[in-house]
Amino acid sequence: MGQKVHPTSLRLGITEDWRSHWVADKKRFGEYLVEDQKIRTYVKHHYYYAGIARIEIERTRDNVNVTCRCARPGLMIGRRGVEVERLKSDLDDLTGHHVEVSIEEVEQPQLDAQLVAEDVAQQIERRTSFRRAMHRTAEMTMNAGAEGVKIHLAGRLGGSEMARREKVIMGRFPLQTLRAMIGYGFTEARTKYGHIGVKVWVNRGVLPPGEKAKGEESEDAPDA
């Protein structure tokens, strides 16, 4: 029997950081959890075109700090910051708390597994051949400096009557090495035949002992 382990949860505290940073008692834990999901769903739905790779949420006693890491930050900020101010106002109404929003740019979108998965999904939705989309995207990721890339598709590929699976693997994947910086992304391509699941793993190399992954230097904040 196969033992499935999520690539992100397996490496938490080693090469991956928590997506939410807060502490709550039993009464508020569920409320905060649902609230975090609402924030992520809202931002992802309304700013999908900005290429959002990751949404981090940090809570203090009075404020909620939301950090959006995206490939096209200018689209989220807007001219003179109009869009980001609108997003703050919408999140204030959604949560009932004061929300601060900060935007960070993803330096290498081709090496972010979530953005790679969304790129493949968009190509399939534009009726590009799924095999061509997989191979082209995998080659672009390898050319960007990745040590390995794996793309899995599942669903009615090409409009076939029966759902099936296809995959492309390039490079190496030391899945048992916890210090391997392997990113994971998942999304769905919405076609007229149904939804097609897209899973992507990107290997960015092995983190040397004693070093921390970029963007994860602070571990002092309590996590949940």
On the CB side of 12, CA atoms within 13 Å amount to: 11
Each residue's pLDDT, cut to its tens digit, for the chain (224 residues) gives 556 778 888 888 888 889 999 998 998 899 999 999 999 999 999 999 999 999 999 998 878 999 999 999 998 988 888 999 999 999 999 988 899 999 999 989 999 999 999 999 999 999 999 999 999 999 999 999 999 999 999 999 988 999 999 999 999 988 888 889 999 999 999 999 999 999 999 999 888 876 766 544 444 444 44
Question: What residue type is 53 in one-letter code?
Answer: A
pLDDT of residue 220: 44
Q: Which residues pair with 196 in a beta bridge?
A: 189
Question: In sequence order, which residues have a C-beta less than 8 Å from that of residue 132 and are 6 or more positions away?
Answer: 123
8 Å CB contact between 62 and 96: no
Q: What's the predicted TM-score (pTM) here?
A: 0.87
3-state secondary structure (DSSP) of residue 71:
coil
Burial of 4 (0-12, 13-18, 19+ CB in 10 A): exposed
Instruction: Note the pLDDT of residue 44.
Output: 93
Please tell me the predicted confidence (pLDDT) of residue 223: 46
Fold of 7-105: GMP Synthetase; Chain A, domain 3 (3.30.300)
Question: Which CATH class, in words, describes the domain spanning 109-206?
Answer: alpha beta
Enumerate the domain spans of the chain. Answer: 7-105, 109-206
- Please, is 31 exposed, middle or buried when counting C-beta atoms within 10 Å of its C-beta (0-12, 13-18, 19+)? exposed
Is 88 in contact with 42 (CB distance < 8 Å)?
no
Would you say the CATH fold of 109-206 matches that of 7-105? no
- Asked whether the beta carbons of 84 and 77 are under 8 A apart, the reply is yes
